[in-house]
Structure 1
Amino acid sequence: FQDIIESSTDGLIVTDTEGIIVKTNMGLEHITGINDAVLRLRPLSTLEKTTFPQLNFKDILETIQARGNWSGETTGNRLSGEEFIAQISFFPILNESGEAFAYAALIKDVTEQRRMEQELISSLKKTTQAQEATIFGLARLAEYRDQATGFHLERIRSYCRELAEALHRHPVFSKQVDRHFIETLYRTAPLHDIGKVGIPDYILLKAGKLSEQEFEIMKQHTIIGYQTLYSIQQQYGDMDFLKMGIEITYCHHERFDGKGYPRGLKGNEIPLSAQILSIADVYDALTTERVYKKAFSHKKSLEIMMAERGKHFEPRLFDVFLSIADKFDAIRKQFLEKPQQSVFVT
């Protein structure tokens, strides 16, 4: 046992019940730079001055006596002045009667581990930023072909985030709409119309109303978008942003009453992310000018949408939207297509 203690790279401190150090090992010397001869028969509090200024060993010993153990992570200073990070665990050493006659502390140097974790986090953040740039770039492919949509992507993602924030505060939706959901929705919302890259220009850019046959072709953008993202998912795995991207791309034209497309989903069959996107998309379509229509005012758009409560839109979700409709209006004004234009259909 003594050989195991001495050969361990982790530090070990043994004290009596009064907190006087009776033994340390080479592992502790390797971590702190302080050898056993310096520490032996000194109070544990000595290490507060030399090595662990953030710890209060008196409080730690009281915690061990009350709870049976103590553990924590702290920064320390080596004898050389170099800072390090340590995981420390204190526990009692019991005699045959189950009474504590000494205490032991295991000290593990986790400096390198924490450094690598931070590098990984930094790398993941860069990866996330790259993913978002890629997503937005892909979505732009469709938007650039339809110049009339202008700030459409910026508005849509902002509308979605605003509505999701409100749902996060709502008792019915708060469990599903957490911070991760909100952030993922904001990042993936621009993908909703990515499938339009596969729609012919004569349909996508048509100034007038689409014929029945042309509309059937236009509806294929949901399937094209789904197939595009699904193929990426098959290659790179089930990442959250791809999963939600598929949901909103495939399902944002479904309706609560089951009369939407492409699959005729209804009610809770429609992913919540797609339902949120649908409200944002309809509001944006109504309040912005297209080659085939004038922009409706904010007030008129809400009137039109209210007629679709329980039909196109889930009632409770739509009510939350109505409660923050003024914030949608503010976003709309922030990203006006033509700031000088003030004529609306009322």
Structure 2
Amino acid sequence: MNTEMDSILIVDDETFYIDVLVELLAGQYKVVVAKNGQQALDRIAKGFEPDLVLLDVVMPEMDGYQVCQALKDSPSTCDIPVIFLTVKSDVDSEIYGFDIGAADYIAKPFSLPIVKARVATHLDLSRAKKRLQAHNLLLEAKVIERTQEISRTQDVAIFCMATVAETRDNETGKHLRRTQHYVRLLANYLSQDPKYQEQLTPTYIDLLYKSAPLHDLGKVGVPDSILLKPSKLTPEEWELMKRHASFGLDALEKAEQEYGSSSFLAVAKEIAFGHHEKWDGSGYPLGISGDAIPLSARLMALADCYDALINRRVYKDAFSYESASEIILEGRGRHFEPAIVDAFIALQPQFIEIAQKFADDE
């Protein structure tokens, strides 16, 4: 049983009915009275929060239907059950009352036991509804928390797997961080362009960000003698190096076969397999060109290339930001999609900020 009294607002312009209802209910409930519709709404506006409203229909100036409609139109009062007290017992009047949100009708003159029973019933229903809403909110919070935990676990697993691939050629997890931030930066910028708006939704950009670290997953299949070679690769070695794109695709397809397809895996496969394709068709592994290259791979191509330029590799020293930008610009329309290069040029200060924020340890 509730330790706190439920509160009832009685709204009626007839003193007789008010007196009868107060005498009937005051011992069990906190009862507040209003003698017209506006006075009822004013009491609520001043902070009174009834658990139930007993509302006369026929009142001067503002009738019960108008009061009920006002209560139902407000988010703060729309869930308060309203029981109409009325001499209007015709079907059309009752249907109209229910349509605007009434919980029940009690015809005047009323039976006191019926009033008492219906008040108790609707208060019980209201409490049950509130408990259910609170329970649902708790469940929602738990589902959100669990979903976030699963997502964090997946992100950690993905990043660890990608880091294993990167460290095989003496790169670090910082490369992964930088490139995924570059990709997201470019995607957010291009999402304002009508050409890309439909594809570059917030959900898709999040997929790009999370899958970007897997771009060189296939390096696990390339021998150390090739990955770590400080001099120029022979034609045969270069052909084997290029196969890392296919190795990455194969690994992700096996994961898909084992655990089922997902939008994440679809984007990850595009990036792993296609980020060495070039806008003019001179890239690998398929030699496709232009829009035939998935947008995810086109974005990754510039991000990966820029980061490779500004950081030291076993086979080269780091380029300056200025030199790297010039090389990217020279690749406009050949290596890279022109619009992506234009986005890069506009975002150069942010690219440098990311590079410095996630700089490799000396």
Q: TM-score, normalised by structure 2?
A: 0.69
Q: CA deviation at 1:91?
A: 12
Q: Does residue 1:95 correspond to 2:91, yes or no?
A: yes
CA distance in 2 between partners of 1:101 and 1:146 (Å):
75
Q: CA deviation at 1:148?
A: 4.3
CA distance in 1 between partners of 2:326 and 2:310 (Å):
12
Percent identity between matched residues is: 37
1:194-248 Cα distance to aligned partner (Å, 9 max, x none): 1101111111111111111111111111111111112212232333322221121
CA distance in 1 between partners of 2:321 and 2:182 (Å):
14
Letter in 2 for 1:49: F
Aligned to 1:142: 165
Q: 2:225 aligns with which of 202, 206, 223?
A: 202
Contact 1:70 1:90 in 2 (8 A): no
Q: 2:174 aligns with which of 146, 151, 158?
A: 151
Q: 2:192 aligns with which of 158, 162, 169?
A: 169
Aligned to 2:280: 257
CA distance in 1 between partners of 2:92 and 2:306 (Å):
75
1:2-60 Cα distance to aligned partner (Å, 9 max, x none): xxxxxxxxxxx9x9999xxx9xxxxxxxxxxx99x85999678688735569xxxx9x9
1:66-95 Cα distance to aligned partner (Å, 9 max, x none): 9xx7596x7x9xxxxxxxxx9679999993
CA distance in 2 between partners of 1:192 and 1:169 (Å):
25
Change (3 A) 1:188 1:51: farther
Contact 1:252 1:275 in 2 (8 A): yes
Change (3 A) 1:288 1:65: same
CA distance in 1 between partners of 2:230 and 2:211 (Å):
29
Q: CA deviation at 1:171?
A: 3.7
Contact 1:70 1:91 in 2 (8 A): no
Change (3 A) 1:250 1:38: same
SS of corresponding position for 2:102: strand
Alignment map for 1:324-343 (pairs within 5 Å): 324-337=347-360
SS of corresponding position for 2:331: coil
SS of corresponding position for 1:114: helix
Letter in 2 for 1:95: V
Larger radius of gyration: 2
SS of corresponding position for 1:263: coil
CA distance in 2 between partners of 1:151 and 1:217 (Å):
26
Letter in 1 for 2:102: A
Letter in 1 for 2:354: I
Contact 1:253 1:260 in 2 (8 A): yes
CA distance in 2 between partners of 1:338 and 1:116 (Å):
44
SS of corresponding position for 1:147: coil
Letter in 2 for 1:300: S
Contact 1:148 1:291 in 2 (8 A): no
Q: TM-score, normalised by structure 1?
A: 0.72
Q: CA deviation at 1:297?
A: 1.5
Aligned to 1:83: none
SS of corresponding position for 2:48: helix
CA distance in 1 between partners of 2:268 and 2:51 (Å):
48
CA distance in 1 between partners of 2:164 and 2:93 (Å):
76
SS of corresponding position for 1:111: helix
Aligned to 1:309: 332
Gaps of 5+ in 1: 1-12, 23-33, 77-85, 340-346
CA distance in 1 between partners of 2:169 and 2:319 (Å):
20
Q: 2:102 aligns with which of 86, 101, 104?
A: 104
Which protein has the bigger strand share? 1
CA distance in 1 between partners of 2:286 and 2:74 (Å):
55
CA distance in 2 between partners of 1:278 and 1:228 (Å):
20
Which protein has the bigger helix share? 2
Alignment map for 1:57-72 (pairs within 5 Å): 62=66, 65=69
Gaps of 5+ in 2: 1-7, 18-24, 35-39, 53-61, 104-124
Aligned to 1:267: 290
